[in-house]
Amino acid sequence: MNRKKRSFNFILGTVLLALTLIPALIGLVWTPYDPESMDVANKLAHVSIRHIYGCDNFGRDVFSRIMSGSGITLLIAIGTVACGSIIGTIIGAFTGYFGGMVDTAIMRINDVALAFPSILLALVIISLMGSGKYQVMFALGIAFIPSYARIVRGEYKRIKNLDYVKSAKLAGAGDLRIMFVHILPNTKAVLLSSVMIGFNNAILAEAGLSFLGIGVQPPDASLGRMLSEAQAYLFTNPGYAMFPGITIVMIILGFSLLSKEIG
């Protein structure tokens, strides 16, 4: 029964991500309508055959904007997780493997950073750098480093005293080879699960920042920005806010289900 449940979760997570991420990837190169093309005659138009998700307050096709905005949100999430996981893995590997005073000093700084929510750290960085999709990607990437560093450090401290690592040392393997050839592959289960969770957090953080108006800026679309623009039209055209919101929920649920399977 447990195996059937795990299989169902994996299939459901894969389907949800396919339904959202495939249109997002297509939206990077093609959309049914120009996401920025305004048509006053279709202002706040409801769902129809021509506009399957309706139109926004400028007459722009909502489905096309979701395709384009999901692609931008996805790219920001990829850049965020790549920055946070790569730098965090390097820091965690060195501190966990070598230990000592450097480990203690870096981890104290890491603990201070972890005491603040990642979105709050990102807000501070964005306030210094300005808003925009690249600034959001950089700010969230920096904010995500401490969590990955802590996770990887714990894995390295657990693994470095295992017999196969001691055997590699006796065979004359250097520290860097042991760290990144012998130990790192054995952390992949934890890392992959953390990366999946990281995608969730990055998408939510980007949506929150863009909703507040300090993330992705016009003319670029993003799911969070669309929600922000749609809040004034919840009663006149609920689909304007509903479809971007459902897209976010589907992406988050998909990554959550897959992270449980990988973990």
Q: Encode pLDDT of 144-187 as tens digits.
A: 999 999 999 999 999 999 999 999 999 999 999 999 999 999 99
Low-confidence ranges of the chain (pLDDT < 50): 1
- Domain positions in the chain are 2-262
CATH 1.10.3720.10 matches 2-262: yes
Q: What is the pLDDT of residue 112?
A: 87
Q: What is the pLDDT of residue 2?
A: 65
Q: What is the pLDDT of residue 1?
A: 46
**Residue whose pair of structure tokens reads 């592959």 in the numeric block:** 185
What is the secondary structure of the chain as a DSSP string? -HHHHHHHHHHHHHHHHHHHHHHHHHHTT--SS-TT---GGGTT--S-SSSTT-B-TTS-BHHHHHHHHHHHHHHHHHHHHHHHHHHHHHHHHHHHHH-HHHHHHHHHHHHHHHTS-HHHHHHHHHHHH--SHHHHHHHHHHHHHHHHHHHHHHHHHHHTTSHHHHHHHHTT--HHHIIIIIIGGGGHHHHHHHHHHHHHHHHHHHHHHHHTTSSS-TTS--HHHHHHHHGGGTTT-THHHHHHHHHHHHHHHHHHHHHHHH-
Closest listed residue to residue 119, CA positions, set 150, 90, 80, 87: 80
Q: Encoding tokens for residue 217? A: 């800026």
- 80 within 8 A of 241, measured Cβ to Cβ: no
Q: Which pLDDT tens digit goes with each residue over 220-235?
A: 888 998 999 898 898 8
CA distance 77 to 83: 10
